């Protein structure tokens, strides 16, 4: 069973702080990694993808991948109340194009 | 223009009924999917269709059947609905691996 683990939270951070969301996965052969944001009552929205070790930055978001340690993280700089949502980590196990989703981490950014 | 559209948005029905959910994408993607999200927000793959062929079918009861009339449409038909089928069902589409998904807005199914 390929697993993707996330702390369910909630993770509460003050406005303007850095929010750090973490995800670990069990399949060492995994090649593709994604972060989705899901607002309450809405559908998941792809915000970041990362495929190689290291950091990938897009605006206020930075995805970090460490395949040796089997974790992927998402940093949100200058957090805003509008970032309050559930963040889903998704990992494509080796040999599969169907990602396995984690259960998501709830993020609350308070003013 | 909505990229992935699902109808209906809400569906309330009685146990034992048969219902369908429709999905259409205008992104030109090759693959479409159905996901089920339970009350604990866990997203689980149900079906995947690529070029009108079912590629993967997880351990889903055969009361659920996907139907794809063409590459842009993937409908979900559910027979003999049960209380445990209550969930939010998401349609999604993507280009071939390793790109991420575009999700539809979801259908909240409530079986009473």
Q: A7-22: per-residue pLDDT in tens?
A: 988 999 999 999 999 9
Mean pLDDT of chain A: 94
Higher pLDDT, A94 or A105: A105
The reply to whether residue A49 touches residue B99, judged by beta carbons under 8 angstroms, is: yes
The reply to whether residue A31 touches residue B98, judged by beta carbons under 8 angstroms, is: yes
- Within 8 A of A46 by CB-CB distance, chain B residues are 100-102
Q: Closest Cα of chain A to B14: distance in Å?
A: 23
A20 vs B88: CA distance, rounded Å: 28
Is residue B32 within 8 A of residue B74, CB to CB? The reply is yes
Q: Closest Cα of chain B to A46: distance in Å?
A: 7
Distance of CA A63 to the CA centre of its chain: 8
pLDDT tens per residue, range A45-91: 999 999 999 999 999 999 999 999 999 999 999 999 999 999 999 99
Other Cβ atoms less than 10 A from the Cβ of B98: the count is 15
Statement: residue A1 has pLDDT above 70: no
Statement: residue B70 has pLDDT above 80: yes
A107 vs A21: CA distance, rounded Å: 9
Mean pLDDT of chain B: 91
Side-chain-side CA neighbours of residue A87 (13 Å): 28
Q: Which residues of A touch B (CB under 8 A)?
A: 31-32, 34, 36, 38, 42-46, 49, 51, 86, 88, 90, 92, 97-99, 101, 103-104
The reply to whether residue A43 touches residue B100, judged by beta carbons under 8 angstroms, is: no
B86 vs B82: CA distance, rounded Å: 8
pLDDT > 90 in chain A, percent: 86
Q: Closest Cα of chain B to A96: distance in Å?
A: 8
**Beta strand segments in B14-72, E:** 19-25, 31-37, 43-50, 53-57, 64-70
Q: Is B103 on the interface with A (CB under 8 A)?
A: yes
The reply to whether residue A34 touches residue B45, judged by beta carbons under 8 angstroms, is: no
Identify the closest residue of chain B to A42 by CA–CA distance. Answer: B105
pLDDT > 70 in chain A, percent: 98
What pLDDT does residue A57 have? 97
For chains A and B, count residue pairs whose Cβ atoms are closer than 8 Å: 48
Q: Is B89 on the interface with A (CB under 8 A)?
A: no
B21 vs B25: CA distance, rounded Å: 14
Mean pLDDT check: name the lowest of A99-103, B16-20, B55-59. Answer: B55-59
């Amino acid at each position: 069973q390929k697993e993707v683990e996330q702390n369910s939270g909630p993770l509460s951070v003050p406005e303007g702080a850095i929010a750090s969301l973490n995800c670990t996965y069990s399949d060492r052969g995994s090649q593709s990694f994604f972060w989705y944001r899901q607002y309450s009552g809405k559908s998941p929205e792809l915000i970041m993808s990362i495929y190689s070790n290291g950091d990938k930055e897009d605006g206020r978001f930075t995805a970090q991948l460490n395949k040796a340690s089997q974790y992927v993280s998402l940093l949100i700089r200058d957090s805003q109340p509008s970032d309050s949502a559930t963040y889903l980590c998704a990992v494509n196990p080796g040999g599969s194009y169907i990602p396995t989703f984690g259960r998501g981490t709830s993020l609350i950014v308070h003013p | 223009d909505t990229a992935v559209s699902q109808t209906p948005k809400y569906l309330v029905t009685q146990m034992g009924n048969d219902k369908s959910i429709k999905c259409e994408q205008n992104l030109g993607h090759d693959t479409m999917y159905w996901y089920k999200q339970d009350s604990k927000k866990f997203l689980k793959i149900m079906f995947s269709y690529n070029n009108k062929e079912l590629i993967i079918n997880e351990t889903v009861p055969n009361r659920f059947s996907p139907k794809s009339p063409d590459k842009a449409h993937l409908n979900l038909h559910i027979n003999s609905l049960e209380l445990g089928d209550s969930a939010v069902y998401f349609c999604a589409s993507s280009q071939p691996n390793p790109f991420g998904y575009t999700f539809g807005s979801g259908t909240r199914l409530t079986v009473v």
